[in-house]
Structure 1
Amino acid sequence: MIDQITFLNEGWIWQIGIGAIVLWFVFGWKEWPQFGKRRFWVKIVIAFFAITSLAIIALKPAISTTNNTTAKIALLTEGYNKEQLDSLEKIHKKLKKHKYKANHPIFDDINTPDSVFILGYGVKPYDLWQLDDYNVNYLGRNTPTGIVRFKYDYKNTVGEHQIFTGLYINPQKGNKLVLEGPGGAGLDSVSLVVEEQQKFQLTTNLNVKGNYLFSLVEKDSLGKTLSTDPIPLVVEDPTPLKIVVVNGFPTFETKYLKNYLAEMGHQVLVRSQITKGRYKFEYFNMERMPLGAFSKKNLESFDLVIIDANSFKNLGRKSRTALENSVKENGLGVFIQPDLGFFRSSKGFGAFDFISEKKTEIRLDDQAKIKLSKYAFVLKDKFLLQHIHTKSNSKIISGYKHIGKGKIGTTVLENTYELVLDGHTAAYQQIWSKLINSISSKETLSVEWGVASIIAYKDHPFKFDVRTSISKPIIKTNKKHNVSIRRDIDLLNLWKGVTYPRDFGWNTQFLEQDTTKIFEYFVADTSHWRSQALYKTIEENKRYYKKSRKKESTQNHTVRPIPLLGFYLLFLLCTGYLWLEPKLLKL
């Protein structure tokens, strides 16, 4: 134990010290006519003690006790292992235990530990910041059994093929996963096998507009329901787009793409170059119209331009300027079909950054069963790049960036038409539907909502963001309660917020300035998608404490204020003497 004197108002020590010295000199100047006499020196000394005691009272002295024995705490989170805790207690004899409660302060200011051992699945992602000042050891748990990953596009359109993909850890042979529709009818199913992990995919067709609640049901070999998890889905009417496809020469990629776009009801104009200065035009679901060099006028009616990299590179100065201005000012979308030369270009309008790699075949997150051909590159994850298709290792396969009101995007996939030849038409349509819908948003939305997942949990934080041109947006819930939001430091039209939903089922929120742009999300119970939530907690804790630098072990300091009564008495006695001394001389 090491004790030392300190002051609670240490920051004021110079100001108070200088003030005390000045006050003492003023007192000496006042008593200077009595200089040389014995009473002068007595009064100077007593004044020194009085002023010193007053300064000490103002500074508030305390005793700081340093404890060289570090305080260690085992933070017990959900699913902690009792045997693991017993082992820790054998190693650290004075180990203290503290039970973690989500969304509450983890430690108070008094019992602050030097080292923290996290046992169990871990601290919820929204509480991790509370342990930033501690030396943390995350001991973790094994991955829970069940569905730990489940991915799908929560917003789709009528007529599209909806795909659900997931990963099941430690499946039991004989059990079955069943996709049920809103009425409880089975739409698709997959049988589980005995493996360490099993990827699965379920599909269905979307026929009617509306908000629907599908379900993923696990049943045993006898048909008994073991678990049911909700799958909220928003189905909207398709919006026909007007698309122009520009190719330097006819390709199989364009042949199958134009057929798909036409089948989906889009208006499509295809311009393929035959020889220098001569073009072949094809029209689908639209009247014939001339299209030579790009101009602001002839691009006004289009929502999306799909152009191969070579044609994009060889655009004339006027055509390139017209295309760029149409993207910035009119919200036109541009998709560049890459070639090998495109990956070496990194300047100007339409440039993307890439990372080379050896792999030329991949499996996308939402197409886990199907191999796709790609160039030996992936997109580099840079600021403002929005992801469209990714791999499970977070490598970006397709993406886009905002250019003014519009978007420009690309991919590293090649020869996607081979999917159709191999009988994977649904996968082909899913890929191109996602590309087109992500980039072709010519309509300038006054409000655009964004979330990581449409599923929220009752009384748990639900993060969202909103893009809007409104300078001071006000967000309200369906209960007319205000939701606090903050503006992004880099993107002035991007706002982020957190809400804590209180009602189960479909909830809504909207901007007070534009009540037509409603955002709908589904609130579930914490018992739903439990394995996925626990897996996310484990992964977030691993990632957080892998990146965070461990802090050196520090010493505990206990500060105990010194009682000031003695200094008050000394001050009163000294001032009392100085007041009484002149009066005694007159007697």
Structure 2
Amino acid sequence: MVTFDADLSFLYLASGVSLLVLLLLAWLAWRRVNKKRLAWRMAASSVGMISLMMLALKPQFRQTVLPQEAILLTEGTNQDSLQSLLQTFTGDVPAIFTTDSSSSQSFAKQEVKWTPDIAYLRRNHPQVNRLHILGYGLSHVELDALDSLQAIPHLSLLEGGFHAVHWPQLTQAGEALHLQGIYENKAAQPVKLVLEGFGLRLDSLEIPASQTKEFDLQTLVKESGSFVYSLNVFINNRLIAAEKIPILVEPPSLIRFIILESFPGFEVKFLKTWLSERQYTGIVRTTISRDKYRTEYINQEKVNANTLNATLLETIDLVIADEQSVSGLSSREQAALQQAMEEKGVGLLILWKEPQNRKGNLFTNSFKINTPPRLEEQPTRVTWPDMSSGAVSISATGARIEYSPGTRPMVQDEKGGILVSTQVWGRGKMMASLLNSSYMWVLDGKQTLYSSYWSALLSSLVAGKEPEQTWQIASKIPLVHHPLTYTLTTYASQTPVGLSGNVSFYLAQDALNPQRWKGTFWPDSTGWRVVQTEGGNPYWHYIYSSSNWKDLQWKERREATLQWANRQHMKLTASSTSVSQFVTKPVSSLWFFLLFLGSMAYLWIERKL
């Protein structure tokens, strides 16, 4: 079958122009007085114009080739699985290829051909239409290069190790770092997981022999900056794996606050000290008598704080108040606070000193509190998200916040009773707390626990500023010398260009979301790397060596290969199409050039005869 390497419009144009020129030459030859060799002149004119047209259209032959099978060895292939597969072929042994450079030496009994990538295999062996894949499989990028090639997986089983690992790669100083995951220990001895950093053992956990167990290693991040912790795996004090845990630690967000208290108390006294030590700026307003207040200013200049109005709330991120102060707000103050919460993202924390107090307004009535007949303080073990230890003891009454749709429990006792709860108000959040004795942790020397508690509450409550642009990467474990896809979301009007170091790469706009752009970059070194647009915010991320997190790499490749094969099988079954392959071979332009040159030479010589 003959095809042309040209689009349809150019094909029609070239054919039309050639036909007109051919008719012109035929007419000129016919009207000549000398009619000798007329047929030869007509033939030469036709050959010349057809040859010229073929030079422009570049014809090529499309031939059906006999389908062939091949075997691809990837990392993790063993000799037994290859031998078992070879025994299933009754005729000639298929060609064996590998993308793993070490496989050509590992399988000396077979002729194994190394191929740099799947695209090279497709390009140089187009007759292959079925590919048997052994080992742990291929990555998403390699699978995309398969195109219509039918993939048949014969994958190796994973040999234990990490099945999943997760940690926040961006956090704030003073917050707890949680390293969570699943580890399968197939060894006959226990395995010890150790989180290390700054030359210290920060946390550890033992996985019994022949067991799969979830783990949660924790530490408190105190300093800001970029750090690389280490997750080490030991058997009998012998190091068998050391994985990198990169983390970016930002300085704590500088919260601007105002505290409204109806009468002085120890909870607010210790809280304002803690806020001041973290360089937060704020105001503490304590009621002395009706419409009379004592005002303290922390790390800021004096302002008029007698009335909670829109002007004051413009400079505030968080309002902390007891229920009596909130209930005592005037209607104008309530309206100003509600607008600031809904439109500006201001947070409101209500500290309930007297849960039995039923006097309320729009804010305090948003939470329903169940109180027993007698409110007595008693030790209560509580937990909250991302805490760096197990349940801790604090003095609390028997009052509990009733759960309702739209609320989120923040602090709970061991029976699930809610002591601190949050709900969303427009762009802001409101939180109610029944705990008023966290200061006791400071008196007991548990400053770290106190800091963890209040950091968790405030970070959950205060709305962060939405960045003008955000970056994301597709891979959980980005590897050096592997393609890495970046996704940029930006509302800028100009076309963004990605910059990684001194190298720029282009971004393509998403067809459905005009604010989203995607681009691919090949990192050439390991370690911390920054990507940004010109004048944009830098996005820091870590590039791993190919030897890092091998368990997760193999698991991801295995799952991707199986999913690809299943999707392809369903597609072929639904369409009922074969996987026949075709080879396109271009016709050499030299032949058409020689024919054109010969025909033009004949027409020139013929006129001289």
Other structure's SS at 2:118 match: coil
Distance 1:264 1:460, change over 3 A: farther
* Alignment counterpart, residue 118 of structure 2, candidates 106, 109, 125: 106
Q: Shift in Å at residue 554 of structure 1?
A: 3.0
**Which deviates the most, 36-45 or 530-539?**
36-45
* Partner Cα distance (2:389, 2:564) in 1: 27
Q: Shift in Å at residue 70 of structure 1?
A: 1.8
Report what 1:557 is aligned to: 582
* Partner Cα distance (1:169, 1:416) in 2: 42
Q: Shift in Å at residue 191 of structure 1?
A: 1.4
* Partner Cα distance (1:24, 1:496) in 2: 50
Other structure's SS at 2:578 match: coil
* Partner Cα distance (2:215, 2:456) in 1: 20
Alignment of 1:499-538 (within 5 A): 500-504=523-527, 506=528, 513=535, 520-538=540-558
* TM-score of the superposed pair, with normalisation by structure 1: 0.63
Q: Give the counterpart letter for 2:252 in structure 1.
A: P
Q: Give the counterpart letter for 1:216 in structure 2.
A: L
Distance 1:30 1:521, change over 3 A: closer
* Partner Cα distance (2:210, 2:270) in 1: 38
- Tell me, yes or no, if the aligned pair for 1:333 and 1:441 is still in contact at 8 Å: yes
- Tell me, yes or no, if the aligned pair for 1:135 and 1:553 is still in contact at 8 Å: no
Distance 1:573 1:439, change over 3 A: same
Distance 1:105 1:24, change over 3 A: same
Report what 2:264 is aligned to: none
Distance 1:26 1:227, change over 3 A: closer
Q: Shift in Å at residue 192 of structure 1?
A: 1.1
- Tell me, yes or no, if the aligned pair for 1:260 and 1:429 is still in contact at 8 Å: no
Other structure's SS at 2:315 match: coil
Distance 1:376 1:120, change over 3 A: farther
* Partner Cα distance (2:259, 2:543) in 1: 42
Report what 2:107 is aligned to: none
Report what 2:252 is aligned to: 238
* Partner Cα distance (1:25, 1:545) in 2: 56
* Alignment counterpart, residue 502 of structure 2, candidates 470, 478, 481: 481
Report what 1:204 is aligned to: 219
Other structure's SS at 2:507 match: strand
* Alignment counterpart, residue 299 of structure 1, candidates 299, 313, 323: 313
User: 1:508-527, CA deviations, whole angstroms, 9 ceiling, x for partnerless residues?
Assistant: 5677647xx66554555333
**Which deviates the most, 223-232 or 55-64?**
55-64
Distance 1:36 1:137, change over 3 A: same
Distance 1:463 1:554, change over 3 A: closer
* Partner Cα distance (1:127, 1:410) in 2: 49
Q: Shift in Å at residue 198 of structure 1?
A: 0.7
* Residue 24 of structure 1 pairs with residue 49 of structure 2: no
Q: Shift in Å at residue 376 of structure 1?
A: 11
Alignment of 1:560-579 (within 5 A): 560-562=585-587, 575=600, 578-579=603-604
* Alignment counterpart, residue 179 of structure 2, candidates 161, 164, 172: 164
User: Structure 2: any 5+ residue segments left out of the alignment?
Assistant: 102-114, 261-266, 286-292, 322-326, 351-383, 392-400, 408-420, 442-446
Distance 1:378 1:148, change over 3 A: farther
Alignment of 1:311-330 (within 5 A): 323-327=341-345
Report what 1:97 is aligned to: 96
User: Structure 1: any 5+ residue segments left out of the alignment?
Assistant: 247-256, 272-280, 337-362, 380-397
- Tell me, yes or no, if the aligned pair for 1:171 and 1:193 is still in contact at 8 Å: no
Q: Shift in Å at residue 238 of structure 1?
A: 3.0
Q: Shift in Å at residue 46 of structure 1?
A: 5.4
Please, what is the CA RMSD of the aligned residues?
Answer: 5.9
Q: Give the counterpart letter for 1:178 in structure 2.
A: V
* Partner Cα distance (2:561, 2:273) in 1: 47
- Tell me, yes or no, if the aligned pair for 2:75 and 2:137 is still in contact at 8 Å: yes
Q: Give the counterpart letter for 2:549 in structure 1.
A: W
* Partner Cα distance (1:296, 1:5) in 2: 77
Distance 1:49 1:132, change over 3 A: closer
* Alignment counterpart, residue 437 of structure 1, candidates 452, 459, 464: 459
Identity %: 22
- Tell me, yes or no, if the aligned pair for 1:144 and 1:534 is still in contact at 8 Å: no
Other structure's SS at 1:107 match: helix
Alignment of 1:29-428 (within 5 A): 29-33=27-31, 43-44=41-42, 47-56=45-54, 58-67=56-65, 69-91=66-88, 93=91, 95-100=94-99, 105-108=117-120, 109-112=123-126, 113-172=128-187, 173-183=189-199, 185-221=200-236, 223-242=237-256, 265=275, 296-304=310-318, 323-327=341-345, 332=346
Q: Give the counterpart letter for 1:532 in structure 2.
A: L
**Count of aligned positions:** 500
Q: Give the counterpart letter for 1:326 in structure 2.
A: K
Q: Give the counterpart letter for 1:525 in structure 2.
A: S
User: 1:475-511, CA deviations, whole angstroms, 9 ceiling, x for partnerless residues?
Assistant: 766xx5234353764364878664615255x555677
Q: Give the counterpart letter for 2:98 in structure 1.
A: K
* Partner Cα distance (1:564, 1:454) in 2: 49
